[in-house]
């Protein structure tokens, strides 16, 4: 048991600090997805690394158990929105990229849905509490949106960005 005030790290830093191509790629991803710092990128990379490790570990299992475990992993990744179909093979999982995870962040989805003009504005709207999922305010831009929750992303009812429904409804 650990100290509750010191939570476990959710990411691993890169092995070598000064690889130019990696640094350039990281900067491009941070800019493209409006991340606050590289730590947010490292969290996504670590998540992807764990998914791929789990897929590779399936190769050591007996065939009938491998099929069962692959089906479970495929359904989980489908619900997360990382793959397009439930019945996938190991190569589909191993070909996932960090961009697939970054596309599932609330910040990116708010921007892609057109609720914000820029990816940076999407982050600000989320942090300031203007965005809700199923009516519940979500203030974390890094929240991973599942496939089921995606249609329910909208402005919170108390947000001034909500279209005023009372003015458009007919008066009785």
In sequence order, what are the residues at sequence separation of 6 or more whose Cβ sits closer than 8 angstroms to the Cβ of residue 37? 30
112 neighbors 102 (Cβ within 8 angstroms): no
Q: Which CATH number applies to 105-167?
A: 3.10.290.10
pTM for this structure? Answer: 0.89
Give me the tens of pLDDT residue by residue for the chain, a chain 172 residues long.
Answer: 678 888 888 999 999 989 999 999 999 999 999 999 999 999 999 999 999 999 999 999 999 999 999 999 999 999 999 999 888 999 999 999 999 999 999 999 999 999 999 999 999 999 999 999 999 999 999 999 999 999 999 999 999 998 754 444 454 4
DSSP notation for 91-129? HHHHT--HHHHHHTBHHHHHHHHTSSSSHHHHHHHHHTT
Element (H, E) at 50: helix 38-58
Look up tokens 């519940």; give the residue: 136
4 neighbors 38 (Cβ within 8 angstroms): no
Number of Cβ atoms within 10 Å of the Cβ of 95: 11
Task: Domain ranges for the chain, please list them.
Answer: 20-102, 105-167
């Amino acid at each position: 048991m650990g100290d509750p005030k010191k939570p476990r790290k959710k990411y691993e830093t890169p092995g070598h600090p000064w690889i130019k191509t990696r640094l350039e790629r990281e900067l491009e991803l941070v800019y493209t997805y409006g991340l606050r710092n590289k730590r947010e990128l490292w969290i996504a990379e670590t998540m992807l690394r764990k998914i791929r490790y789990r897929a590779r570990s399936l190769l050591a299992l007996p065939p009938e158990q491998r099929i069962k475990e692959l089906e479970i992993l495929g359904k989980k990744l489908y619900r997360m929105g990382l793959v397009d179909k439930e019945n996938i093979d190991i190569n589909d999982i191993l070909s996932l990229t960090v961009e697939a995870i970054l596309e599932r962040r609330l910040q990116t989805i708010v921007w892609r849905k057109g609720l914000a003009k820029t990816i940076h504005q999407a982050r600000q709207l989320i942090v300031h509490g203007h965005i809700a999922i199923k009516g519940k305010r979500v203030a974390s831009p890094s929240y991973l949106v599942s496939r089921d929750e995606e249609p329910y992303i909208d402005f919170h009812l108390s947000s001034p960005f909500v279209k005023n429904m009372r003015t458009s409804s007919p008066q009785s």
